[in-house]
């Protein structure tokens, strides 16, 4: 392992060195730092040109300037942006945070939803659901991101903010939403006529009931996950996670999952009705919130092992996942409680169309966190829709190939149930091709975020890159390109390591 990492890191450094030289030559050829002065008619323009040539060392050879830049870069000095006088390092600090926030949410959601839908589509090959997902995937993949961004600005922000003035959905629309949801679930699950009718009726009733409850309770203006709603969501989570993780026939695993739900409900009551959040809020930070998530996972593991049995590990895994999700629900509920105050501070128009935060917005941790996520909603959706289409197609193709392998037929011949065949044998091998695609795609999103960040006015890496090009400033552009190149190399190394986790037959030193 150490030899492999050493060899790959050294090769990566060599690639970075060559790439940096080519980058510097190409950027130097396309930018003109004197562009704004060439047609200036001020009397002191020649002096300004001479001064800028001296400051930027434009009278020296490009090779000499590259070597000087490389020496500074190796020591951690990425130079200064000459139009603003700001160091590139300080510019990167805010830009990287803004980009990571955007890519983290969009990538996690795209992978989870895309892989799940792609696997279901493969299992329902040539069904109406499969054809529908194929059509939607190709449609989303072909849509230009800037056009989707404009539509989301109009209907996802301006339209929703207008809706909040009088948040009433007509009965006809509610029925239409229920019918669409029932049809989607029917196509996804399939079965005989009786099963399809039951699934459609259940999907329609559940969707119609949820939206009707949201409307009658005034949820759109005062959103919350109250105790009753958390009980239903927690029970559904326990059933779903257990069904996927071990199967509902594993009673110990199912019991551990519901025990984790009970522990989560206990903490919910203590935090909301025992004054817990009031004591934690003044000192709450993102680090503390992550720590609480780790503690919840540890509690779930303990619950799983407490249930005992020969498969304690499976029960612990299931209970830990349920416990973490319950913690997420509780944190989201606390953040939702800040919604009325946040909406009032923004004159009843809380969904933002530009920027990454509201200027001069006061409030506690939950207000600022809510502000961050309202600014992330639209750009996240843009990147999510494009990535979702890709992951759906990749996972579908990989699952179809895996399901036709001999070892799948052998597993079925041994009498294993279909859930075990799919989750333990097929799904893990389906992820192997995705191990190459996902790390590299994350780096590719940095390039795709150029357009998204510019449209939504987010001060991220893409905006810094485009601003550097517009202002003929080489240092920020080089910093962006070098970071992207380094991350691309790291992504390929990570992909090789993930191979060994998914497939024990693969050795990194082979």
pTM of the prediction?
A: 0.85
Tens of pLDDT, residue by residue over 141-188, are 888 888 888 899 988 899 999 999 989 999 999 999 999 999 999 988
* DSSP calls for 106-155: HHHHHHHHHHHHHHHHHHTTTSHHHHHHHHHHHHHHHS-HHHHHHHIIII
- The residue ranges of the chain whose pLDDT is under 50 are none
Measuring CA to CA, which residue among 347, 489, 459 is closest to residue 91?
A: 459
Residues paired with 81 in a beta bridge: 86
Q: What is the pLDDT of residue 34?
A: 86
**Distance separating alpha carbons of residues 392 and 111, to the nearest angstrom:** 9
Tokens of 18: 């060559």
Q: What is the pLDDT of residue 264?
A: 95
Measuring CA to CA, which residue among 464, 447, 485 is closest to residue 81?
A: 464
Q: Which residue is listed with tokens 């930027």?
A: 56
């Amino acid at each position: 392992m150490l030899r492999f990492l050493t060899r790959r890191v050294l090769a990566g450094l060599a690639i970075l060195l060559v790439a940096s030289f080519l980058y510097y030559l190409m950027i130097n050829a396309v930018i003109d730092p004197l562009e704004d002065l060439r047609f200036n008619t001020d009397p002191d323009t020649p002096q300004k040109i001479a001064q800028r040539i001296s400051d930027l060392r434009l009278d020296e050879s490009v090779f000499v300037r590259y070597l000087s830049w490389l020496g500074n870069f190796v020591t951690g000095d990425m130079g200064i942006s000459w139009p603003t006088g700001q160091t590139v390092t300080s510019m990167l600090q805010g830009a990287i945070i803004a980009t990571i926030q955007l890519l983290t949410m969009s990538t996690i959601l795209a992978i989870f939803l895309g892989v799940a839908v792609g696997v279901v589509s493969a299992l329902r090959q040539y069904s109406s659901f499969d054809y529908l997902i194929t059509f939607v995937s190709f449609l989303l993949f072909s849509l230009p991101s800037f056009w989707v961004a404009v539509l989301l600005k109009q209907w996802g922000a301006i339209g929703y903010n207008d809706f909040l003035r009088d948040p009433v959905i007509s009965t006809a629309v509610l029925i239409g939403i229920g019918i669409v949801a029932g049809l989607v679930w029917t196509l996804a699950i399939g079965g005989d006529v009786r099963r399809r009718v039951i699934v459609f009726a259940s999907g329609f009733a559940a969707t119609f009931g949820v939206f009707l409850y949201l409307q009658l309770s005034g949820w759109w203006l005062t959103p919350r996950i109250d105790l009753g709603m958390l009980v239903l969501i927690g029970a559904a989570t326990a059933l779903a996670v257990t069904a996927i993780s071990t199967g509902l026939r594993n009673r110990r695993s199912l019991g551990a999952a519901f025990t984790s739900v009970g522990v989560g409900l206990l903490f919910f009551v203590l935090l909301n009705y025992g004054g817990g959040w009031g004591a934690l809020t003044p000192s709450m930070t993102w680090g503390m919130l992550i720590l609480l998530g780790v503690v919840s996972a540890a509690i779930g593991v303990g619950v799983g092992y407490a249930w005992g049995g020969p498969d304690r590990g499976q029960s612990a895994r299931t209970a830990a996942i349920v416990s973490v999700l319950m913690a997420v629900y509780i944190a989201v509920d606390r953040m939702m409680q800040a919604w009325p105050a946040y909406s009032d501070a923004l004159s009843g128009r809380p969904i933002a169309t530009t920027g990454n935060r509201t200027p001069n917005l006061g409030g506690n941790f939950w207000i600022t966190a809510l502000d961050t996520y309202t600014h992330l909603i639209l750009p996240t959706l843009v990147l999510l829709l494009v990535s979702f289409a890709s992951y759906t197609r990749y996972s579908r193709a990989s699952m179809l190939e895996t399901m036709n392998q001999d070892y799948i037929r052998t597993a079925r011949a041994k009498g294993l149930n279909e859930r075990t065949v799919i989750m333990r044998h097929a799904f893990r091998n389906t992820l192997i091709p995705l191990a190459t695609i996902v790390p590299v795609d994350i780096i590719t999103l940095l390039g795709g975020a150029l357009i998204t960040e510019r449209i939504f006015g987010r001060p991220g890496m893409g905006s810094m890159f485009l601003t550097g090009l517009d202002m003929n400033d080489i240092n920020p552009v080089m910093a962006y390109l070098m970071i992207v190149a380094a991350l691309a190399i790291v992504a390929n190394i990570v992909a090789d390591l993930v191979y060994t986790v998914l497939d024990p037959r693969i050795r990194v030193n082979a």
